[in-house]
Structure 1
Amino acid sequence: MKTPQALSALRALGQPHRLAAFRALVVAGPEGLSVGELRDRVDLAPATLTAHLNSLRSAGLVADTREGRVIRVRAEYDQMNALLGFLTENCCGGESCAPRKKIPRTASKAR
């Protein structure tokens, strides 16, 4: 993933309702959710959800398919994983990212 694509995805996910919708789709798995099911889970008005899905779709984070009268929305896991890879590409300078032991603070010296 290149920087412009990462920024687009981060901008899309930087809004609480879009992040909630995307997380709901990730939890739903590869089957995704119908737009109605997603709307019920994130409790948004239909037009508002549509606008948020358009932003996520534009960033490549979701895709939808028509199944008869139902539109099913799915998270794009490849794009999500590419974003995670971009963010962690140079994580911790090649060293372990395990938390370091906390070093106890020493008492301040009396003056």
Structure 2
Amino acid sequence: MDADRARTLLEEERAEVQSLLTHLDSNLDQDRETGRGDAGDDVDSAQPLAADEVDDATAASLRDRLAAIERAEKRLADGTFGLSVRSGTPIPDERLEVMPTAELTVEESAQDS
């Protein structure tokens, strides 16, 4: 995969993740302003806690995706983008088109599962 295409894919991925994080943060702020969970005895008190845990997990996952993007951008700058970080084997362009942050080949990823 050429560097320009890789850069474009990573920029698109970054924009998507940042948009999702912004939307999530906005929803969390709105929930705090409306006092989610202060509705009284009619509401199960565990629901807001469960929702907060889901939100926290989602935010953590999005931050992990941003970290993966940053690692991929570093590999792009170093000239190693598109090569497995484990074996140095080329990662097929088809995989990188779908997952531009891929660090391993499909076979190597399957071995980890």
Fold equivalence (TM over 0.5): no
Higher normalized strand content (fraction of residues): 1
Higher normalized helix content (fraction of residues): 2
TM interval, shorter chain, is: under 0.3
